[in-house]
């Protein structure tokens, strides 16, 4: 009986620590700032903003969102970056779709840009107070048209992301906190794009 009780307590503690780690990540990613700005050897400039989790304590899979941009020969492409973190292995098919319902009821269908299978079966292991916590993560990027960007910034009510297996990621928000965050990132990105960044693969090595 004591062994079963101890095992149950350990399981509960692991879940608590897992959620605390995600909560700390939420707090540390509250500011909109550029986390990467570099120019590849091919001349492609890549700019990324910090992502932020949008979650509740009951979420089994946690979604983080942010914006990024690529610039080449004066042409700018903006992306919605989505990170999914889970305590179980997670994967998404090539060209995984994302459905976004705006606050006005419009539905956007976005397709993962790389068109590659996304998968994490290994996970990242951390030990806290002797308890091992493993997190599995996949990162997806969705190219946005100017119209889609404006629709996202008008308000987001629900998101569904295509995953492998029987259950897709899906979450609905009664109060929109995402569009305000993305609007600030979009402003930060457009300001960064307007500057002349010179760099290469060897920057800050």
How do residues 43-91 score in pLDDT, each as one tens digit? 999 999 999 999 988 899 999 999 999 999 989 999 999 999 999 999 9
For position 130, what pLDDT does the model report?
77
Residue pair 135/69 in contact (Cβ under 8 Å)? The answer is no
> pTM to 2 decimals?
0.81
Whole-number pLDDT of residue 126: 82
Q: What pLDDT score was predicted for residue 129?
A: 76
- Taking the alpha carbons at both ends of the chain, their separation in whole angstroms is 56
**What confidence score (pLDDT) does residue 33 get?**
86
Reported as half-sphere exposure (CB side, CA atoms, 13 A), residue 3 has a value of 0
pLDDT confidence bin for 168, thresholds 50/70/90 = very high
The partner residues of 118 in beta bridges, in order of sequence, read 92
Q: Report pLDDT for 4.
A: 53
- According to DSSP, the residues that pair with 61 across neighbouring strands are 86
Report the percentage of the chain scoring pLDDT > 70: 80
Tokens of residue 65, six digits: 């969102």
pLDDT by residue (tens digit) across 143-164? 999 999 999 999 999 999 999 9
Could you tell me which residues are beta bridge partners of residue 109? 99
Mean pLDDT of the chain: 86
| pLDDT above 50 for 136 | yes
Contact by Cβ (8 Å): 124, 138: no
Helices 146-153, 178-193: axis angle to 10 degrees equals: 140
């Amino acid at each position: 009986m004591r062994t079963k009780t101890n095992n149950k307590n350990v399981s509960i503690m692991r879940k608590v620590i897992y959620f605390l780690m995600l909560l700390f990540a939420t707090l540390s990613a509250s500011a909109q700032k550029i986390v990467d700005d570099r120019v590849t050897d091919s001349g492609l400039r890549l700019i990324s903003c910090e992502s932020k989790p949008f979650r509740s304590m009951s979420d089994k899979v946690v979604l983080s969102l942010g914006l990024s941009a690529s610039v080449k020969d004066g042409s700018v492409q903006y992306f919605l970056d989505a990170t999914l973190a889970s305590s179980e292995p997670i994967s998404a098919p090539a060209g995984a779709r994302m459905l976004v319902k705006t606050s006005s009821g419009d539905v956007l269908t976005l397709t993962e840009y790389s068109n590659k299978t996304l998968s994490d079966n290994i996970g990242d292991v951390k030990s806290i107070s002797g308890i091992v916590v493993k997190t599995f993560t996949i990162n997806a990027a969705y190219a946005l048209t100017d119209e889609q960007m404006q629709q996202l910034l008008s308000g987001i009510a629900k998101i569904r992301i295509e995953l492998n297996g029987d259950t897709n990621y899906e979450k609905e928000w009664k109060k929109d906190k995402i569009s305000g965050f993305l609007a600030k990132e979009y402003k930060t990105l457009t300001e960064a794009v307007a500057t002349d960044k010179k760099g290469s693969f060897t920057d800050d090595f």
